[in-house]
């Protein structure tokens, strides 16, 4: 039995597309996802992060930012079957049992309110596997991704219970100093991790902020 499946460069298919297809066909996580009924190989990133950090232990309410195609929420439903799960994405997502899905962009002005309404109370965990569309310019791509991480953090600070956690995708190098300081201000521990399911040639890492300290007033009162 051959170890690798080779893909012929079909007429009209770009070399890059052929390489991507060949990588997919030979990816053990892709094969495992199909065998175990997960919608994407990304499910194993959350499984591995949960095994290391205990993210879903006792979770009763979870928000999935950038839910498409639904692999992370499938993991949540499997590991925390009684948890309320709300997801959001502007991409189409097939329905998932026990998951409320909002088909809209998280950057929309009313996204926060819609998510909070669907959640109906505080959350134990906010997950963000959101990724900005890359333009091929490392500094620009980093800034766009960090912008999503910051938006997710602001939302997490509004909805998390004390002791809750925020997990977000970042690029190689992790969070910048300002964002890292903000995370440490609001969470007891902040760590970076690259789960084994993340491809070695991928620049993605995840920031794991646990032990939310609770909401606090950001602004100092004005002097009289």
Q: What angle do CA 150, 156, 160 make, to 5 degrees?
A: 160
Cα separation, 58 vs 80, in Å, equals 7
**Strand partners for 65:** 88, 128
Cα separation, 175 vs 119, in Å, equals 28
With beta carbons less than 8 A apart as the criterion, state whether 67 and 88 touch.
yes
Does 112 belong to an annotated binding site? no
Cα separation, 159 vs 166, in Å, equals 11
Does 129 belong to an annotated binding site? yes
169 counts as catalytic: yes
**Strand partners for 212:** 187
Query: Which is catalytic among the residues 169, 185, 191, 213?
Result: 169
Does 120 belong to an annotated binding site? no
Give binding residues for S-adenosyl-L-methionine as ranges: 70, 72, 89, 105, 129
Give binding residues as ranges: 70, 72, 89, 105, 129
Catalytic positions, please?
169
């Amino acid at each position: 039995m051959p170890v690798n499946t080779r893909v012929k460069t079909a007429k009209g298919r770009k070399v890059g597309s052929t390489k991507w297809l060949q990588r997919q066909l030979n990816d053990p996580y892709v094969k495992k996802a199909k065998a175990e009924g997960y919608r994407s190989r990304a499910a194993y990133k959350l499984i591995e992060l949960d095994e290391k950090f205990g993210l879903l232990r006792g979770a009763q309410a979870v928000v999935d930012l950038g839910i498409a195609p639904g692999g992370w929420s499938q993991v949540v439903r499997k590991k925390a079957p009684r948890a309320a799960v709300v997801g959001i994405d502007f991409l189409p997502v097939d329905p998932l049992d026990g998951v409320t899905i909002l088909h809209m962009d998280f950057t929309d002005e009313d996204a926060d309110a819609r998510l909070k309404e669907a959640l109906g109370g505080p959350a134990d965990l906010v997950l963000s596997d959101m990724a900005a569309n890359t333009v091929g310019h490392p500094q620009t791509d980093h800034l766009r991704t960090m912008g999503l991480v910051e938006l997710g953090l602001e939302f997490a600070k509004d909805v998390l219970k004390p002791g809750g956690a925020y997990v977000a995708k970042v690029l190689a190098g992790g969070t910048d100093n300002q964002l890292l300081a903000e995370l440490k201000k609001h969470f007891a521990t902040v760590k970076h991790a690259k789960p084994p399911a993340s491809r070695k040639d991928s620049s993605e890492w995840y920031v794991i902020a646990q032990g939310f300290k609770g909401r606090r007033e950001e602004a100092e009162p004005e002097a009289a």
